[in-house]
Amino acid sequence: MASIWVYGTLPPSSLSLCQPLSEPWQGFAECDDGGMRKARLGMLILICLAWAGSLAATQAAFGQTSTARPVVLSLKLNGVVDPFMASYVKRGISQANADNDAAVLLTIDTPGGLDSSMREIVTSILGSRIPVICYTAPSGARAASAGTFIMLACPINAMAPGTNIGAAHPVGVSGAIESEKVTNDAAAFIVSLAERWHRNADWAEKAVRDAISAPADQAVQLHVVDYVAVDDRAVLAIGPCAPSAVKPTTGALADPSFHLNLCGTDITSFHMSLAESLFHSFADPNVAFLLLNIGFLALIVWVIHPAFHVMLAVGIVSTVIGLAILETLPVRLVGVILLLIASILFVLDVKAKAHGVLTSAGIAMLVLGGLLLFNPTVPTARVSRPLIVGVAAAAALFTFFTLRSIISAKDAPVRTGIETLPGSVGVTETALEPRGTVRVQHQTWTGETEGDPIPAGTPIRVLGVRGVILRVERDLTPAASAAGEAHEEGMVP
């Protein structure tokens, strides 16, 4: 009869692995408890593993809570404020918000830039959940033009000793200060930024309308910036980190309800992408000047010599990039026009054989165009004087040597191809009665005579070409015949 399972018990036969023998006096058989030992060992291993895992997790969690410190993401706004710089700053602020960092430290050193790019950065700063600290540094840096707007947009701003802020007048393509409408718009915008953080709105408006500027210490006294700091750590030593420091009267730090603890923070750098860094590096007055001259000269050479396609490609690429860079700078149209006239004069000197007179005028136009290319009221936007002299000298050498060779090659007679066959001498390989084969210019052609038959081995002269057939006649000039025969026989190279 089969054993019956009772709730909470096991069948009697399974209570022990040691079974009695058939007779009572025989006692019990040898217990086979190997399975039990294995089961106990496996259970012990599992318990040990679970204990070790929980211990490691506890230690990891303890380590994180004991070593984790707030992070400040550091961004660098260096150079012209262009679309690539705006993209970088916006990405950095978005990343800091996504990572719940304590703050963003935006270090500024800029001569200004595009109004549209500046507004993108300002919008990103004002829309950030975490505070953005703007810091004009190092010593010798400036937050000019668009940089002034960005500094005033930040809830907390500071400057290093020896820096300056201001000169925020809008500059247009003509190089002059923009129309009253544009100026009024810029003035209203910067006033709104200053008032948002309780800074000096009157000074901000004058920075736009009158292009005034101020050094770091004076900017603090004028309530344009919150405080002066010697380095990044000093910038972050605010609030609870510096209880004895004088509390700023401007910016978010002046608000009693604003609390920010950056003590012991880790400063993590956020870098530009490769594309942003590459294109931003092109936004330089010297690069723009160089590319415009190369582009203008290459395009004019291509107009004179259309078969020279390399010049077309170089001209288009250089001119487009140069003009794109000018969009980020206070360019003056008179400078661009002078550079174009200089390139035209260089080419015309060779074409008209003016013997250097037009080249001299072109050098003068190039130097003058380089000096007048950018607005002189923006001291940081100008072409290097040594570069102007170097480009002028290089353009003159290019005109006298390379350009002269290119135009001379264009006007030279064709020395290869089927056009060179008429007038050439050769020798008949087979008799022409009236058609046969001839050897001319180291090649075998079908020849045809319009006169008497010509025996094989006779010197001939090519009269013309009809399709792939040469019209020939007997060459009666002894010297030419001898030369033609020797040439075809390989005696003369």
**Bridge pairing between strands 103-109 and 132-136:** parallel
317 pLDDT tier (thresholds 50, 70, 90)? very high
Residue 198 is part of a domain; what is its CATH number? Answer: 3.90.226.10
> What pTM does this model have?
0.62
Query: What are the tens digits of pLDDT across the range 366-407?
Result: 999 999 888 776 666 789 899 999 999 988 887 777 666 665
Q: Is 334 inside a domain boundary?
A: yes
pLDDT of residue 15: 41
- Kindly state whether residues 224 and 304 are assigned to the same domain: no
The domain tally of the chain equals 3
Q: Is 205 inside a domain boundary?
A: yes
Contacts of 16 (CB under 8 A, 6+ apart): 31
Q: If DSSP states are collapsed to H, E and C, what string results for 375-387?
A: CCCCCCCCCCHHH
Residue 159's SS3 state is: strand
Q: Which amino acid is at 477?
A: T
Most trustworthy range by pLDDT among 193-197, 312-316, 362-366: 193-197
pLDDT of residue 4: 37
Least confident of 13-17, 29-33, 117-121, 133-137: 13-17
Q: Where are the beta strands (DSSP E) in 53-141?
A: 71-78, 103-109, 132-136
Query: What are the tens digits of pLDDT across the range 251-276?
Result: 998 888 888 888 888 999 999 999 89
Distance CA 76, CA 309 (A): 42
pLDDT of residue 11: 43
Intra-chain end-to-end CA distance of the chain, in Å? 119
Q: Is the pLDDT confidence value at 20 over 60? A: no
Query: What are the tens digits of pLDDT across the range 164-182?
Result: 999 888 876 544 445 688 8
279 pLDDT tier (thresholds 50, 70, 90)? confident
- Kindly state whether residues 390 and 464 are assigned to the same domain: no
pLDDT of residue 66: 38
Query: What are the tens digits of pLDDT across the range 237-251?
Result: 887 877 777 888 899
Instruction: Find the domain containing 129 and state its range.
Output: 71-277
Q: Is 451 inside a domain boundary?
A: yes
Q: Is 28 inside a domain boundary?
A: no
Least confident of 136-140, 156-160, 279-283, 317-321: 279-283
pLDDT of residue 95: 96
- Kindly state whether residues 362 and 426 are assigned to the same domain: no
DSSP β-bridge partners for residue 269: 74
Q: If DSSP states are collapsed to H, E and C, what string results for 47-71?
A: HHHHHHHHHHHHHHHHHHHHHCCCE
Q: Is 14 inside a domain boundary?
A: no
pLDDT of residue 195: 95
pLDDT of residue 177: 46
